[in-house]
Structure 1
Amino acid sequence: MRRRPGIAGLQNAAATRDQFRLVGENVAKVRTDVMKEQLATFRTQLEEFALKHKIVDICIATRATNGGLIDLLDLRKLLCQKRKADLGSLTSDDCLRAISKLKVLGSGFEVISVGKKKLVRSVPTELNKDHNGILELAQAEGFVTVEQVERKFSWSTGRAIDVLETLLKEGLAMIDDGHRDGKRRYWFPCATLSSDSIGADAKS
């Protein structure tokens, strides 16, 4: 017949369990502290990388003229001007890597494709398919009218105006009412401005 453990045996077993529990808690705490330290180091390195490549500076400096959307090629040109380097020394992939690292920080930076262009977005505006369609249409002349949008996408007048007014509100478009035909034109600086016209702003 097997003997039941005595009081001393039960106490020893309980003490052993407590020791294992404490060891487990200590290990978990150490792991958490290490992870926090690694994340903090990673974040610092990302921020230093972004500052080194000055992607942020140029995007902020040109927001007043492009509403927070800048062509990737213009960004490269302006960055090279700022660094006083040849365009060949900085590739589009370099910029894309830097922007992807900024995106990890939750900074709102993102690259979007509009037609054949890649635009860098530095404002937390969510652009949907309708917005992208208008931005692509604007690349032909730099502006669109409500009638052009209606014809291109077979939209109602209300839908066209709603999408255009949203882009206007977000600072991505400007209104021009000065034409003889009386048709309002919505200009999109991000689709038309070259680095020559905004270079002065980025250098200041």
Structure 2
Amino acid sequence: MRRGVGISGLQRQQRHESQLKKVGSELGHQNAAELRRQLDALRQRIEGFAFEHRGVINRDPVFRAHFNRLCAASGVDPLKSSKGVWAQLLGVGDFYYELAVQVADVCMSTRAQAGGLIAVGDLHARLGRKRGGAGRAISRDDVLCAVAQLRQLGGGYAVSTFGGGEQYVRCVPLELDADHNALLTLATPSARVTRARLAQELGWAAERADAALATLLREGVLWVDVQGPTGEPEYWVPCIWQRAESCVAPADGGQAGKRAPRREDRAR
């Protein structure tokens, strides 16, 4: 009959496990120290690269975008402090803070007409016209970096993606959930949606559709038109409609496409 391990055997096993834990802890500390050393060396190399190529980084928005991605992949934040080494080397802190103010200005000036959403491409174009020929040229990546700075200040600034992957900057204090994104995606081709389409194409019950519509209406992201040809209320996404209309030049000089709801319609 096989005998038990005994107290001495258990003690040996405990000592062995304790030694393994000690060795594992020592290896963990050594690996962490080595990783910190490698990261410090990488940061120094990036700083040296930034110093050597600061003229191109400041001048070329595409090169600057690649540099920002390199920093992000390396865990380096060039915008962490406007008084830090990056601001001294490149002036990127002041550049993005200035651009963030301009982003906020454009978003607020279009909020009443566009419902608090603006396509990143449209925002980029408006900023280009606003800045004129002065200062550095900017890219979409610069715009997204500036929005990230605004998000830290609150106020609802964020980037949302819907409608086939198009990015929109949101400047209303509303977190778009899965239902909101699904509704906006469905509305994207024609800039409008109805309760019937939500039920038919998304399989939503009336309560679910009403909840999503009510939230977006309250924040101004949707406007409602109660004078549609079918008699059923149509819910419009003004930023998408305005963007589509701006790309169409009607031959007769009139307004292209179907009429969008007026400001007074949306409250009904």
TM-score range, shorter chain: 0.5 to 0.7
Q: What is the aligned partner in structure 2 of residue 11 from structure 1? A: none
Matched, 1:68 2:113: no
Q: What is the aligned partner in structure 2 of residue 15 from structure 1? A: none
Q: What is the aligned partner in structure 2 of residue 96 from structure 1? A: 144
Query: Could you tell me how far 1:69 is from its partner in structure 2?
Result: 1.1
Q: Is the 8 A contact 2:82 2:94 kept in 1?
A: no
Distance 1:52-1:126 versus aligned 2 partners, 3 A rule: closer
Q: Is the 8 A contact 2:158 2:171 kept in 1?
A: yes
Distance 1:107-1:169 versus aligned 2 partners, 3 A rule: closer
What SS does structure 2 have at the residue aligned with 1:124?
coil
- For 1:141 and 1:195, how far apart are their aligned partners in 2? 9
Query: Could you tell me how far 1:40 is from its partner in structure 2?
Result: 9.3
Q: Is the 8 A contact 1:47 1:102 kept in 2?
A: no
What SS does structure 1 have at the residue aligned with 2:213?
helix
Could you list the runs of 5+ residues in structure 1 that have no partner in the other structure?
1-37, 198-204
Q: What is the aligned partner in structure 2 of residue 129 from structure 1? A: 178
Query: Could you tell me how far 1:41 is from its partner in structure 2?
Result: 5.7
1:117 corresponds to which of 158, 166, 179? 166
Distance 1:110-1:181 versus aligned 2 partners, 3 A rule: same
Matched, 1:184 2:233: yes
Query: Could you tell me how far 1:182 is from its partner in structure 2?
Result: 0.6
Query: Could you tell me how far 1:50 is from its partner in structure 2?
Result: 3.1
Q: Is the 8 A contact 1:143 1:186 kept in 2?
A: yes
**Cα RMSD (Å) of the superposition?**
2.8
CA deviations 1:7-42 (Å, max 9, x no partner) are: xxxxxxxxxxxxxxxxxxxxxxxxxxxxxxx97968
**TM-score, structure 2 normalization:** 0.53
- For 2:245 and 2:131, how far apart are their aligned partners in 1? 16
| Larger helix proportion of the pair | 1
Q: What is the aligned partner in structure 2 of residue 51 from structure 1? A: 98
1:84 corresponds to which of 113, 132, 144? 132
- For 2:115 and 2:109, how far apart are their aligned partners in 1? 11
- For 1:195 and 1:55, how far apart are their aligned partners in 2? 22
Higher RCO, Cα 8 Å, sep 6+: 1
- For 2:212 and 2:144, how far apart are their aligned partners in 1? 28
Identity of aligned residues (%): 35
Distance 1:51-1:162 versus aligned 2 partners, 3 A rule: same
Number of residue-to-residue matches in the alignment: 157
Distance 1:105-1:166 versus aligned 2 partners, 3 A rule: closer
Query: Could you tell me how far 1:107 is from its partner in structure 2?
Result: 4.0
Q: Is the 8 A contact 1:49 1:98 kept in 2?
A: yes
Could you list the runs of 5+ residues in structure 2 that have no partner in the other structure?
1-79, 85-91, 247-268
Q: Is the 8 A contact 2:151 2:158 kept in 1?
A: yes
Q: What is the aligned partner in structure 2 of residue 105 from structure 1? A: 153
Distance 1:195-1:158 versus aligned 2 partners, 3 A rule: closer
What SS does structure 2 have at the residue aligned with 1:175?
strand
**TM-score, structure 1 normalization:** 0.68
Q: What is the aligned partner in structure 2 of residue 167 from structure 1? A: 216
Query: Could you tell me how far 1:61 is from its partner in structure 2?
Result: 0.4
The residue identity in structure 1 corresponding to 2:223 is: M
